[in-house]
Amino acid sequence: MVNKNIRMRYVTTFLIGVLVAVSLIYGIQILSQSDKEDNGFESSDWMGLIAPPVYALEGSTPPLDTSKIGFIAYYQRTVGWTLSNTVPAFINYTDGGNYYDGLVRVWDSGEIGALSSSYDRCIDVRVRVRADGWIIAWFDRFVDDPGAIVWWGHERDAQGSPPMYSTTLSRAIAIVFNVAGVGFPGYDIIGMFDYSEPSANRLVLFGQSSYYDSDYYYTIPVSSTIVPIRFLVRAGGQDRSTLSIDGGQIYSISEYGDWGWSTYVLNPGEYMTKGVQHSIRQDMQPSGSLSNVAFVMWTG
């Protein structure tokens, strides 16, 4: 039997994390089975969703078709870019004269370049760098998995939360800064929007690793003004794991070895019902298996 202190150290905080921001704003109550007390989290990891200015998508470069874009991240350097310095960030690119369009490979582990270790996984992100200072990274809403917005910063069989305020898209932008020898302003400075969910004004994203079984309960007060729009689980890990909410199984991994990253779509109307105590359960078999779980929620 794992003692209480050790268990609480490793207990899964995925649901607490995804609701931390709104718990501060809307008074969501979250209880753990082990102590039945409010956990009192004091930090949040939510991002405002604000559309980039039209000039960032058009200007002196070919316009980007927002009807094909889902998530987008953007930033403008006031001193512009020396485009040739950004070339090492791309695995391939097109030279448009005053801009480059290409793919930047983002590895789970944080490695930079076309290759990494055999245990690493990657996603290739569409990026435009313009000489006038704009840098834009985006997902194709019809091709890319929106759950891949979660960037863990480590391989699936390792521990760790995603870096604060980071996303796969902002990581791609950070890589361009890194290879160009320019100081990165910080993940919390990068603008974000989702053209596939234009009514959403906030993205709540949080994840954590767990080695042990855990139970949590959460309640959204009837008086809460939160408007859930979309709800996803992004998960991966090592060995067997099962996740359930309100007794309904979200996923069950029955094989040993690395699994995920996988995205599971939840019904926000079902799992974010106000005035109802919801329960969440993570089963790990054997105890000591590793599971990384992140929730992604769009809200109005």
Where does residue 247 rank: exposed (0-12), middle (13-18), buried (19+ CB within 10 A)? exposed
Are both 166 and 40 inside the same structural domain?
no
The sign of the dihedral angle between the CA atoms of 110, 264, 44, 48 is positive
Q: Which helix (H) or strand (E) holds 270?
A: helix 268-271
Are both 153 and 275 inside the same structural domain?
no
208: phi then psi, degrees, rounded to nearest 5 = -160, 160
Are both 93 and 217 inside the same structural domain?
no
Question: Shortest CA distance to 122 belongs to which of 153, 158, 88, 163?
Answer: 153
Are both 32 and 65 inside the same structural domain?
no
Is the predicted pLDDT of residue 37 greater than 50, yes or no?
Answer: no
Are both 175 and 224 inside the same structural domain?
no
Inter-CA distances, 81 with 98, 138, 189, Å = 10, 19, 18
Distance of alpha carbon 212 from alpha carbon 146, whole angstroms: 28
State the CATH number of the domain containing residue 261.
Answer: 2.60.120
Are both 178 and 119 inside the same structural domain?
yes
Are both 77 and 167 inside the same structural domain?
yes
Higher model confidence: residue 201 or residue 23? 201
Rounded-to-5 percentages of helix, strand, coil across the chain: 20, 40, 40
pLDDT band at 33 (very low <50, low <70, confident <90, very high): very low
Distance of alpha carbon 261 from alpha carbon 230, whole angstroms: 19
Q: DSSP readout, 25-57? A: HH--EEEETTT-SB-------EEE--PPPHHHH
CB 149 within 8 A of CB 168: yes
Domain boundary among 137, 169, 194: 194
Domain count within the chain:
2
User: Which pLDDT belongs to residue 22?
Assistant: 42
Q: Which residue has the tokens 């050790």?
A: 6
Lowest mean pLDDT among 48-52, 117-121, 135-139: 117-121
User: Which pLDDT belongs to residue 106?
Assistant: 97
Is the predicted pLDDT of residue 133 greater than 60, yes or no?
Answer: yes
Are both 160 and 82 inside the same structural domain?
yes
Is the predicted pLDDT of residue 20 greater than 60, yes or no?
Answer: no
Is the predicted pLDDT of residue 195 greater than 60, yes or no?
Answer: yes
Is the predicted pLDDT of residue 88 greater than 90, yes or no?
Answer: yes
pLDDT band at 8 (very low <50, low <70, confident <90, very high): very low
Range of the domain at 20: 4-45+201-299
Are both 150 and 87 inside the same structural domain?
yes
User: Which pLDDT belongs to residue 19?
Assistant: 43
Task: Give the tens place of pLDDT for each residue, 214-227.
Answer: 787 777 778 877 78
User: Which pLDDT belongs to residue 45?
Assistant: 58
Are both 38 and 58 inside the same structural domain?
no
Q: Which residue has the tokens 């985006």?
A: 138
Q: Which residue has the tokens 């689980």?
A: 233
Query: Beta 29-32 vs 214-219: how paired, if at all?
Result: antiparallel
Average pLDDT, the chain: 83
Domain boundary among 161, 176, 194: 194
Domain boundary among 170, 194, 218: 194
pLDDT band at 164 (very low <50, low <70, confident <90, very high): confident
Are both 190 and 208 inside the same structural domain?
no
pLDDT band at 31 (very low <50, low <70, confident <90, very high): low
Please give the distance of CA 93 from its chain centroid, rounded to a whole number: 25
Are both 144 and 218 inside the same structural domain?
no
Is the predicted pLDDT of residue 30 greater than 60, yes or no?
Answer: no
Higher model confidence: residue 168 or residue 240? 168
